[in-house]
């Protein structure tokens, strides 16, 4: 390893200056070839250019090595910061009960907003990361250009160095190191993966105009009066707009009568998301049918264990019921921030 003691450094400088300024003379080499003697002349100019090219190559390589290891350390730190940020988002998702592995957690609208904010922040960090990195390379490239310019070498010698040192960043169409760019691509992929989980959430309710008459959570059952979990929300349509519409595209997995829920439709969407529509009057789809977003699934009714005309709506993620109101709000918040 190189030792950068003051003494060592000045000796190194003297050696470099000495080699640079050294005077060269034409050299003659005598070769014996099948009894004949041949003279080979190596001009002084050629020797000097060769020695100087080697010196510049060695110096540039040393500068690059120091610079690149600095960049690597910097990028590593940034990567660790981003990974920490991922963990935070996963924890946020878990506490929001969106991760199927987590318990059916309690969460507030503020948690959801916080989650959306974290994702936005993370996105900004990635943009900053790319910006810093590009700036870093650009300034190093310009330093190196100056270094070569001040070396006093003629165009031809510089072009030889450039020919051999393209990796060092002289070329205008510089391409990032594939290792670094793949790490970057991975970060971006994880980011978009998280975003697509949130984007899988429904952004709307199944009725056009409605009032919510019963929220998600523990409540006294309207019929037997015992406390139980109300695993969805109850909606009453306004202005006779009774059509129940799919909140996202998907496939109908259940379309039949159920003792408690009455006429029931369940639609399976992407990414483990399901929606349930209960107490329908008429069912207008068949099991196995593919439905588009907003497709009419049936009409609001009073079938099954129900005390009046209303729609019971559930959102299930990996078969865990979550609060439809909060999920819809989260999806709307994420969409707002993305715009």
Measured distance CA(177)–CA(134) in Å, rounded:
12
Q: Rounded to whole angstroms, how far apart are CA atoms 40 and 28?
A: 5
Distance CA 196, CA 335 (A): 11
User: Strands 227-230 and 320-322, how do they pair?
Assistant: unpaired
Work out how close the CB of 324 gets to Zn ion at its nearest, in angstroms, rounded to a whole number: 10
Among 92, 99, 201, 234, binds Zn ion (CB under 5 A): 234
Q: Does 187 bind Zn ion (CB under 5 A)?
A: no
Whole-number Å distance between alpha carbons of 104 and 95: 9
Phi and psi torsions of 216, nearest 5° = -75, 140
Residue with smaller CB distance to Zn ion, 14 or 260: 260
The piece of 169-177, 188-196, 262-270, 311-319 that touches Zn ion (CB under 5 A) is 311-319
Q: Which residues pair with 29 in a beta bridge?
A: 40
Which of 217, 214, 236, 241 has its CA nearest to residue 228? 217
SS3 for 310? strand
Q: Across the chain, where does the E strand assignment appear?
A: 27-33, 36-42, 210-214, 217-220, 227-230, 233-237, 243-245, 250-258, 262-268, 273-283, 290-291, 296-300, 311-317, 320-322
Q: Which of residues 40-99 bind Zn ion (CB under 5 A)?
A: none
Tell the smallest beta-carbon distance from residue 236 to Zn ion (Å). 11
> Judged by CB, which is closer to Zn ion: 248, or 279?
279
Touching Zn ion, residues 236-265 (CB under 5 A): none
Q: Which residue has the tokens 């005598």?
A: 30
What's the closest the beta carbon of residue 75 comes to Zn ion, in angstroms?
52
Residue nearest Zn ion, CB atom distance: 312
* Nearer residue to Zn ion within complex by CB, 78 or 310: 310
| Among 17-25, 137-145, 234-242, 319-327, the segment contacting Zn ion (CB under 5 A) | 234-242
Instruction: Count the residues of the shown chain that bind Zn ion, applying the rule CB under 5 A.
Output: 2
191/321 with CB nearer Zn ion: 321
The pair of three-digit structure tokens given for residue 97, joined into one six-digit string: 């009960």
Q: Which stretch binds Zn ion (CB under 5 A): 267-275, 294-302, 309-317, 319-327?
A: 309-317
Q: By CB under 5 A, which span of 108-116, 171-179, 215-223, 231-239 interacts with Zn ion?
A: 231-239
Q: Which member of 312, 328, 331, 333 binds Zn ion (CB under 5 A)?
A: 312
Query: Closest CB to Zn ion among 176 and 308?
Result: 308
Q: How far is the CB of 241 from Zn ion (least distance, A)?
A: 19
Closest CA to 264 of 252, 255, 273: 255
Nearer to Zn ion, 12 or 257 (CB): 257
Q: How far is the CB of 314 from Zn ion (least distance, A)?
A: 8
**Given the structure tokens 């199927």, which residue do they identify?**
100
Rounded Cα–Cα distance for residues 56 and 111 (Å): 58
CB of 216 to Zn ion, least distance (A): 9
Region from 69-77, 232-240, 288-296, 331-339 binding Zn ion, contact rule CB under 5 A: 232-240
CB 97 within 8 A of CB 320: yes
List residues bridging with 228 in a β-sheet.
Answer: 219
Taking the least distance from each CB to Zn ion, the nearer of 234 and 242 is 234
User: Taking the complex as a whole, how short is the minimal distance between the CB of residue 205 and Zn ion, in angstroms?
Assistant: 13
For residues 127 and 260, which CB has a smaller minimum distance to Zn ion in the complex? Answer: 260
Is residue 174 within 8 Å of residue 148, measured between CB atoms? no
Which residues of this chain interact with Zn ion, rule CB under 5 A? Answer: 234, 312
């Amino acid at each position: 390893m190189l030792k950068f003691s003051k003494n060592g450094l000045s000796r190194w400088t003297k050696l470099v200056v000495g080699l640079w300024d050294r005077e060269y003379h034409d050299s003659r080499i005598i070769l014996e070839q099948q009894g004949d003697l041949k003279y080979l002349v190596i001009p002084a100019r050629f020797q000097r250019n060769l020695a100087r090219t080697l010196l510049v190559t060695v110096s540039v390589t040393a500068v690059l090595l120091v610079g690149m290891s600095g960049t690597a350390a910097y990028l590593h730190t940034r990567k660790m910061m981003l990974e920490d940020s991922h963990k935070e988002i996963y924890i946020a998702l878990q506490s929001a009960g969106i991760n199927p592995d987590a318990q059916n957690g309690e969460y507030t609208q503020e948690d959801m907003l916080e989650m959306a904010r974290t994702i936005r922040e993370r996105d900004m960090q990635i943009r900053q990361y790319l910006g810093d990195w590009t700036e870093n390379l650009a300034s190093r490239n310009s330093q190196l250009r100056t270094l070569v310019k001040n070396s006093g070498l003629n165009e031809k010698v510089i072009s030889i160095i450039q020919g051999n040192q393209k990796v060092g960043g002289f070329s205008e169409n510089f391409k990032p190191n594939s290792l670094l760019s793949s790490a970057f691509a991975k970060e971006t992929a994880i980011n978009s993966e998280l975003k697509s989980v949130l984007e899988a959430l429904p952004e709307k309710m199944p009725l056009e105009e409605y009032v919510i008459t019963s929220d998600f959570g523990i409540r006294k059952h309207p019929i037997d009066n015992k406390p139980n979990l109300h695993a969805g929300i109850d909606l009453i349509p306004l202005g006779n707009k009774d059509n129940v519409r799919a909140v996202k595209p998907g496939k109908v997995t259940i379309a039949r009568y159920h003792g408690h829920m009455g006429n029931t439709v369940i639609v399976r969407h992407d990414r483990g998301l399901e929606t349930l529509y209960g107490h329908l009057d008429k069912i207008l789809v068949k099991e196995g049918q593919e439905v588009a977003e907003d497709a009419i699934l049936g009409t609001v009714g009073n079938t099954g264990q129900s005390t009046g005309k209303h729609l019971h709506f559930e959102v299930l993620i990996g078969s865990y019921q979550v609060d439809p109101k909060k999920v819809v709000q989260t999806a709307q918040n994420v969409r707002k921030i993305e715009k």
